[in-house]
Structure 1
């Protein structure tokens, strides 16, 4: 019975994963998000390299493939440019902890920002079924970033807050161009990912094989999630495809990617010679799929490979600290 309930909970989590993202982000910008309760967290749980979703209370099932894969599976065979050190002298937190789901694209946005700016952070993987790791919080979604006791929620809002802390003498945030493309990431790009990642049964199993190996699951939850979750997401992805008026998953995905490349207008990055917040957001959302079939197809059938390779070099290695 526990396994049945666990699968039911996982199914509900999967079905709602993308539905509230854009609404949550808009609500956060209007100041409507609930305040996260301040409390101490027992850090006895293991950390994982990974991430989570924009105000998602459910598991965001886009696996992170940052570790444990051969270098030959990178997007481009060209050498990545060396990472340029980012100045964070005015923002050196004593303790930064990201509460996340390993597979969430919105959590990955936050991590890409932290990695790019060399801000050290710890990761606490949240169990998507019981969410026991965030019992202390009134806000039951991820990502939650706790910085020296201050709690931040919603990936775009978190990034805005961090940017202001890192650039106190230049508090002006993104340009109109950046704002446009950051909205595009949350309102369009993420919606074409899921139907592609779970397009076929084999692709769904490929995704869940990694998720269940790195997520915070017990043995029984891992078995349920791998096979039950893959089957559930295969069918849910078809509903998401219909909801967002997608007729051909790959064509829609390629079109979105090509739209982004066109937006660069020949520049190395949207930000010019260095990435801006829009570059980091697109990269963060795409990074989890880079070793999946959908990611391999994306590189083979679009022009994004060179930009992605430059972004890998610019963002560099993870600045995550193991607990």
Structure 2
């Protein structure tokens, strides 16, 4: 979301969640990993901090409210997603269907990613649900969405008239699930939809470089 908002072109490499062969070169085995001018940046929050400093080196990275809600995104919001998007076997398959279709995988890999990946994450989600003391997956998602909406306190964005880094962090976390069943339910049962639409409009079209146009 940060790259799209600032119209920074980028190439996406989908990582096989089973083999992770695309990032075998990296000691860091999670995504995202962003390579900029040969430098490998990891962790979403750190990536945004570094890029923000490069874009506006004289600006403060964040203010107190922004810091609070970016931390909330990292420490709370992200943890309610997996138990929701992998809540049932059908929802797990729905989620992995996108990865299988958009990754540069062979037919066998696509099949394995979709079905083995979905099965694995279905059980992982149950463990995460217990780890984070979630009793009702959807209720936790709706509560998080409503908490965010209340934090806006009538403003278009947490940043006021335009998104700040907390807005972009929350949007970046929620965008992948928006049109999955969990995301549709979230918008239907909470007040977050209007903010989400404003964020879609503000962020604009992805600045992702189509594969055919990418030059090594």
Query: TM-score with structure 2 length normalisation?
Result: 0.92
Greater alpha carbon shift after TM alignment, 179-188 vs 221-230: 221-230
Give 1:113 deviation, angstroms.
Answer: 0.2
Distance in 1 separating the partners of 2:95 and 2:119: 11
Of residues 146, 164, 172, the one that matches 2:53 is 164
1:236 aligns with 2:85: no
Of residues 130, 135, 149, the one that matches 1:247 is 135
1:146 aligns with 2:146: no
Give 1:133 deviation, angstroms.
Answer: 3.1
Distance in 1 separating the partners of 2:99 and 2:132: 25
After TM superposition, the runs of 4+ consecutive aligned structure 1 residues lying more than 6 A away are none
Question: CA 1:205–1:124 in 2, change beyond 3 Å: closer, same or farther?
Answer: closer
Give 1:202 deviation, angstroms.
Answer: 1.6
Distance in 2 separating the partners of 1:249 and 1:138: 33
Of residues 162, 178, 200, the one that matches 1:312 is 200
- Alignment gaps of 5+ in structure 1: 1-111
Superposition map of 1:42-81 within 5 A: none
Query: TM-score with structure 1 length normalisation?
Result: 0.62
Q: Which of the two has greater helix per residue?
A: 2
Give 1:181 deviation, angstroms.
Answer: 0.7
Give 1:139 deviation, angstroms.
Answer: 3.4
Which residue of 2 is the match for residue 119 of structure 1?
Answer: 8
Higher RCO, 1 or 2 (CA under 8 Å, sep at least 6)?
Answer: 2
Superposed CA deviations along residues 245-285 of structure 1, whole A, max 9, x for unmatched, are 11111111100110000000000000000000000000000
Give 1:128 deviation, angstroms.
Answer: 3.3
1:270 aligns with 2:158: yes
Distance in 1 separating the partners of 2:24 and 2:114: 25
Distance in 1 separating the partners of 2:183 and 2:81: 10
Which residue of 2 is the match for residue 261 of structure 1?
Answer: 149
The alignment's C-alpha RMSD in Å is 1.5
Distance in 1 separating the partners of 2:27 and 2:137: 37
Give 1:227 deviation, angstroms.
Answer: 1.8
Which residue of 2 is the match for residue 197 of structure 1?
Answer: 85
Give 1:144 deviation, angstroms.
Answer: 1.8
Aligned-partner SS, 1:151: strand
Aligned-partner SS, 1:125: coil
Aligned-partner SS, 2:40: strand
Question: CA 1:136–1:211 in 2, change beyond 3 Å: closer, same or farther?
Answer: closer
Asked whether the equivalents of residues 89 and 119 of structure 2 are also in contact (C-alpha less than 8 Å), the reply is yes
Distance in 2 separating the partners of 1:202 and 1:132: 26
Superposed CA deviations along residues 206-237 of structure 1, whole A, max 9, x for unmatched, are 11222211124322222122222222222221
